[in-house]
Chains A and B, each alone.
Chain A
């Protein structure tokens, strides 16, 4: 008997390797600018999917950490020059902010609804604040925050220890893909650990976990911080765009990641990542026309998914595949029984 399971399937390494090869070969047949952006969005979706899908914490303001990562990188790289420390800071700062906000919420035992409102308010405050930082007084070291116009032209990612060797184009695509794969494997490792299983227990029944002696607020604060750090990889977005503006804290950014996770399927990691890529591609395609508004289409997709496949695509697909496999087994068994019956009849004759 074992405690394994908890709804977390094993990684299919053959599929994983095939996908990695496919992603590695993509630059041979396509430009890398759009795939890089889609991979960054997949990372963002992964960060929320881990926290919401497995610990049951719904944050309406996950864009706050995405944006904090982007701004931290821009500000730090302006001041430091070399990108390694700014990159690390872009993970640490959102994690610390998330830990502080999370501790206040979870130790304060506020209800889920207020938690949602609080996280949303934090994002809106950051959005308003950053929009109001146009004056010269708003500078951190060499970096001017720039208000509505944001921070442009900061030093982008370079090879660690080599400021003159910038990472861009196809090389940058590979860096983002490596970050995506690493973040996915870390998320899987967290879920397979006792910590991850405890989070799943908390998602299922917080009171019971408390009655079993688990410090629930501490666990929730910890995953909130981990998810915040993962969302801090929004610094990759800043590097991709080569500018960071207050729009990273926008309601649209927050709503999009929620839609990706719902459509992809709560309680899976891969589903929200695929949804981020698919819906992100659709958004980019729709961006080429002006007849129909983007958000209208995304909203319609969300409504359809909630009505028709409320569990999202990935869990529905898994359930459908399981049912299909079971029906195949039953069919084989019935065929075997029929054959044995016929053989018995023939033997009698």
Chain B
């Protein structure tokens, strides 16, 4: 079994009296594709944000380790510099810049001023963004903006990719394309995908971690998890 690349130990995130993440101990191994699912308010995105340093300090306790290094309390940019690419729940792109400019800013940090152009070209080709490369991101459709954000993540050449609800608002065709892209990324990188779309998660054919009320409810392959009575109760609100 490969080495763990992401570990959380007794991670707790609390907002006032609400326990958003409840003593979560989680392990992700090299080149794994893991889906985090759960109904709205289950704590998936909060857990995601606490791994990436977007939530830290007084609200959080427990430990976060990335490739064995304790990154608890680190700022987001420091964690990202370990080689992590993050796509947020709501598309976070630079609307006033073109697609190429968005990708260039991402590539420049890792590839440098000279190597950035080549890295941008690579991502444009890989995600088939050529037709919209010179357009302002703010003028694009939602699905295209989602794709541009994934492009900015990839242009950084990360070894660990964290995607929060990448399929939200996509058409069926776009979702199919996204599944292919995620599988392609997984050939070279480790991935965590947060989503609540069961169909999308099933097509990724990965190990699944189900969140409920801030804690891990079940972990396993899709066929086991999706037929688990406790999962069905969480999603459907009654015992199947």
Contact = CB atoms under 8 A, between A and B. Distances in A.
Interface in B92-139: 92-98, 100-101, 104-110, 113, 116-117, 120-121, 124, 133
B134 to A, nearest CB: 9
B77 A214 contact: yes
Interface string A197-232: 110110111011111111110000000000000000
Given A210-B76, A211-B92, A212-B156, A197 B105 contact: yes
B109 A213 contact: yes
The secondary-structure label for the interface of chain B is: helix
B80 interface: yes
A5 B99 CA distance: 12
A66 B94 CA distance: 32
Contacts of B97: 6-7, 200-201, 204
B88 A3 contact: no
Contacts, number: 81
B100 A213 contact: no
Nearest to A205: B94
Contacts of A1: 100, 117, 120-121, 124, 133
A194 B76 CA distance: 21
A289 interface: no
A30 interface: no
Contact of B120 (A3, A6, A214): A3
A205 B156 contact: no
Nearest to B155: A212
B101 A3 contact: yes
B101 A6 contact: yes
Interface residues of B, number: 33
Contacts of B105: 3, 197-198, 201, 209, 212
B133 to A, nearest CB: 7
A2 interface: yes
A203 B97 CA distance: 11
Contacts of B184: none
Nearest to A216: B77
Given A1-B121, A5-B98, A6-B101, A211 B116 contact: no
B152 interface: yes
Nearest to A208: B92
Nearest to A212: B106
B81 interface: yes
Nearest to A204: B94
Given A1-B100, A212-B106, A205 B77 contact: no
Given A3-B104, A208-B93, A212-B109, 19 more contacts: A1-B121, A2-B100, A2-B104, A3-B107, A3-B116, A5-B98, A6-B97, A6-B101, A197-B104, A201-B94, A201-B97, A204-B95, A207-B88, A208-B92, A208-B152, A211-B80, A211-B88, A213-B81, A216-B77
10 interchain residue pairs of minimum CB distance: A3-B104, A204-B94, A213-B80, A201-B105, A208-B92, A213-B81, A211-B86, A205-B94, A210-B76, A204-B96
14 contacts: A1-B117, A3-B105, A3-B107, A197-B101, A204-B95, A205-B94, A207-B88, A208-B93, A208-B94, A209-B105, A213-B80, A213-B110, A215-B75, A216-B77
Interface of A: 1-3, 5-7, 194, 197-198, 200-201, 203-205, 207-216
Interface of B: 52, 75-77, 80-81, 86, 88, 92-98, 100-101, 104-110, 113, 116-117, 120-121, 124, 133, 152, 156
